[in-house]
Amino acid sequence: MRRFRSATRRVLMSDGRCTGNTNFKGFALTIAVGNESEADKTFNALAVGGQVTMPMGKTFFSPRFGMLNDKFGVGWMVLVAQG
């Protein structure tokens, strides 16, 4: 089991009973962080063993945004939250 913590929440993930084939299609998890260096650090950690689908870069809605599939095939979007 994996666990993520934020200041007020904890997200737990489990692969259940480890039976059958996994299929992580049709959704992506998003992590919004406070600054560009934190975005790069988070993105690079998730990308280890995975596949980057959109490298980190500036967009109209964020100074830093990128997308990837982690080593388990889970889709992620990482961005700097704008106030």
pLDDT tens for each residue of 21-70: 777 778 888 998 999 999 999 999 999 999 999 999 999 999 999 999 99
The C-alpha atoms of residue 59 and residue 30 are separated, in whole angstroms, by 15
Q: Are 57 and 66 in contact (CB under 8 A)?
A: yes
SS3 category, 2:
strand
Burial of 75: CB neighbours in 10 Å, binned 0-12, 13-18, 19+: middle
pLDDT of residue 82: 82
Dihedral pair phi/psi, residue 75, rounded to 5° = -80, 135
Q: Which residue shows structure tokens 């992590």?
A: 31
**pTM score of the predicted model:** 0.76
Q: Is the predicted pLDDT of residue 83 greater than 80, yes or no?
A: no
